[in-house]
Amino acid sequence: MPKRLDPKVLLAHAMKEEGKGGLRESVELLARQCGYVTRHIRDSRGQNVLGMPDELLLHPKQRRLIWAELKREKGTTTLDQDLYMQALIECGEEVYLWRPSDLYNDTILAILKGEETT
């Protein structure tokens, strides 16, 4: 008998990073529902800030700032993205690399709510 595939896994692999119903739209909606102010950093290649993460999420009441790089399920980060994220981490910033599977398994929600486990 063939192995039964988890629908969430199939959805994660099919989800795009951008566009209607994509990861960015879903993350921004979820973040706003959790009280964050969201700011999408447009394609940084044209802005002389190579590697800057895609999303900046601010929660004024919690005094919390999150940087998030968004990738498709099998997408890879560039060297510039890796260096920028590492520099932010070294500055004490909260930085994440999120994929659709992180949305479907509630990892992103737990992080936004401050319930993530280390």
Q: What is the pLDDT of residues 4-63, one digit of tens each?
A: 666 556 565 555 666 677 899 999 999 999 999 999 887 655 666 788 999 999 999 999
Question: In this predicted model, what pLDDT tens digit does every residue of 62-112 receive, in sequence order?
Answer: 999 999 999 999 999 999 999 999 999 999 999 999 999 999 999 999 999
Q: Is the pLDDT of residue 114 over 70?
A: yes
Alpha helices per DSSP H over the chain: 7-14, 23-33, 79-90, 100-104, 107-113
Which pTM value belongs to this model? 0.81
Q: What's the pLDDT at 3?
A: 67
CA–CA gap between residue 118 and residue 26 (Å, rounded): 24
pLDDT band at 115 (very low <50, low <70, confident <90, very high): confident
Q: For the chain, which domains are there?
A: 7-113 (3.40.1350.10)
Q: What's the pLDDT at 2?
A: 62
CA–CA gap between residue 4 and residue 18 (Å, rounded): 29
